[in-house]
Structure 1
Amino acid sequence: EDEGVSSLLGLAACTASVLPAPACPQQQHLPTAEPCRLPLDEGDCQRYTLRWYYNQRVAECRPFVYSGCQGNLNRFDSREECELHCGAGRPVRETLRMVLC
């Protein structure tokens, strides 16, 4: 068993010394849409609960049945929370997320 571990460690050291490290830009900006811009997504489970989402087409918060898992961030516990975050007629801005290597 010790020989196997030694072989693996030797292989890892050899690989690390032979392969160059991948080049990485110092920073990269990726656009990230706010939750209010995301489409309705009920998710894929079966633990149904009432939630609210912002409908961009009609510029208002609307109820939907959330499945309990997955989905996206355009999901709020109440109409008030949805309106506070997305607001009727409030301009939805796009934010940038910085990714560092």
Structure 2
Amino acid sequence: MSAAERKPTKTDIDITRARTGLGVVLAGDIVILLATAGAVWKLTDGPAASTASTAIISILTSAFTTIGTMTTAYFGIRAATNTAQTSINRTATPDDGNDQTVARGEVVTP
């Protein structure tokens, strides 16, 4: 079976999801930065540039808040998802000494 015919594994799919999500967040951050730069440039160009400092500060504050919130939300959701997947998939042995194994939320007696 060639590499092109191989079915993607769950790990491959998870990696693709993570990379795609990160790419979307970074693209959004770049768009916000470009819009902010354009607005600041427009406000500083012209005769009213000396009175535009309050507007510039407002624009920059909003942009940094938006970027920080969006990026933090992505990494927070990603961390919670990874933790949930790890806890679901992990096989744990109880400390009580029994031969029971906990796997995917089920108690199995061998």
TM bucket (normalised to shorter chain) is: under 0.3
TM, length-normalised to structure 1 = 0.25
Higher relative contact order (CA 8 A, sep 6+): 1
**When you count strand as a share of all residues, which structure comes out higher?**
1
Give the TM-score normalised by structure 2. Answer: 0.24
